[in-house]
Structure formats: structure tokens, C-alpha cells
Amino acid sequence: MGGGRVPDSFTEQTARIGDVTINYVRGGRRSTLVLLHGYPQSWYMWRKVLPELAGQHTVIAPDLRGSGGSDVPTGGYDKKTLAADVHGLLTQLGLDDDVSVVGHDIGAVVAYAYAAAHRDRVRKLVLTEAPIPDQSLYQLPTLTTRGPGLWNLGYFTVLTMPVLALGARASLGDAVATQVARYATTVTGDVVEDCGHWLFEEQPTELTTRLTRFLQRP
């Protein structure tokens, strides 16, 4: 299924979760680490960091519904449903306890929704290059209250697990950490230099180091 794209020691598989088939790659061992891609990408955006992360974690990188090799149903694209798909996958694999979740772009919003729904089972959370969709988004110059419309979570749970919030210097910068601090009690925020929006493809070595350092902290 991988067509040569899947890194060594990883496999690409599918699982039926409710009414959708979810495609995912899996590799490594030890504690569970879930990687949630952004738009318009798939698990493949993580290809440069997967091998190193698999040295310390059982890494699961799914294609969210509607993306990559996963099904494309007509509905279910709200972030709570996308997070429920991920939880269903982890439950089926027996990997839904003591989970660390990393999200990029829209995957970061799905990661936040997952952590909010399963606070007792999420060990650490990493949010990169995406704002949580609250009213503060209208401060961005491309958005106004008249449009384009935004999908809003509708609730904002204050998270107590450690959170790493990263923005790129040439993109969202320190706005990511500033906003996440409103919704989490223990936030480590920083800006990745010499980088645009696609952090994990532009600076894979730097991002692998940052993730590993954060995830290994007690």
C-alpha cells in the first residue's frame, strides 16, 4: 500500500472505525505518540521525522477522514468527529492510554479536541502552526466577522497536561503560544527560526529535537 513511501520499520494499514475506513502508518515501540497532519496533507507530511521518533515511541500517523488513503464520506468533518475517529483507531489498536498527541495546522485543532475529550488519557500535547478557533482569529488581517466563516469549537476546555506550542517565524510566530496559554495551564511556547508554515518538512531535524526533548521531560 505504501508504494515505497513508507519509512523502514513502518507499515501502512487500514482500520474500520465506525462508518469510515482510516488509513494510517505505524512504527516503533514503547509509549504511544499520535501525529495528526494538516490541510491539505496526509500522514506523509511526517515522513522526515518518523524514523527518529519511532526510537522512543509507538508512532501512529493516521490520514484524517477525507484525506490521503482514508474514506471520504459526505459528512463528519467537524473537529470533534475527527478526534473521535482518532480515538476509535487507538482504542481498536489497544493504544488509547497514556497518549501523547502532536498536531499541525488543522491537525492541531483536532489534537486540542482530542485532549479536551480525553484529558485523563493524554500525557502531553503539541500544537503547531494553527490557532484554536475562537474570536481572537478575527484579529488576523485575512479574517473578519463577515467572512470567511470559521469552524468554532463551541467550548474551550482548560487543559492541565503539559503543552508545547510552536509557531514558525515566517508564519504565525509567537501568536500560537500566546493563544494556547489561554486554554492550558502548563505551556511551553517558542518560535522556530528560518522556517515557514510547513515546520516538519522545512526543519525536520530541529522539530525532532524539540519534540524529543519535550516528550522526554517528566
Report pLDDT digits (tens) over 150-186: 444 445 678 999 999 999 999 999 999 999 999 999 9
Q: How many Å apart are CA 16 and CA 184, to the nearest integer? A: 33
Query: Taking the model in full, what pTM does it have?
Result: 0.91
Q: Is the pLDDT of residue 16 over 70?
A: yes
Cβ pair 179, 135 in contact under 8 A? no
pLDDT-above-70 percentage for the chain: 88
- Kindly list the domain boundaries of the chain, sorted by start residue: 10-216
Taking CA atoms, 166 is separated from 4, 129, 170, 180, in Å, by: 31, 6, 12, 10
**Which bin fits 53, alpha (ψ -120 to 50), beta or left (φ > 0)?**
alpha
Report pLDDT digits (tens) over 93-127: 999 999 999 999 999 999 999 999 999 999 999 99
Phi, psi dihedral angles at 206 (to 5 degrees)? -60, -45
135 grid coordinates: 474570536
Report pLDDT digits (tens) over 22-68: 999 999 999 999 999 999 999 999 999 999 999 999 999 999 999 99
The CATH code of domain 10-216 reads 3.40.50.1820
- Predicted local distance difference test score (pLDDT) of residue 115: 97
- Predicted local distance difference test score (pLDDT) of residue 218: 85
Q: Is the pLDDT of residue 143 over 80?
A: no
Report pLDDT digits (tens) over 198-215: 999 999 999 999 999 999
Nearest to 166 by CA among 207, 111, 134, 204: 207
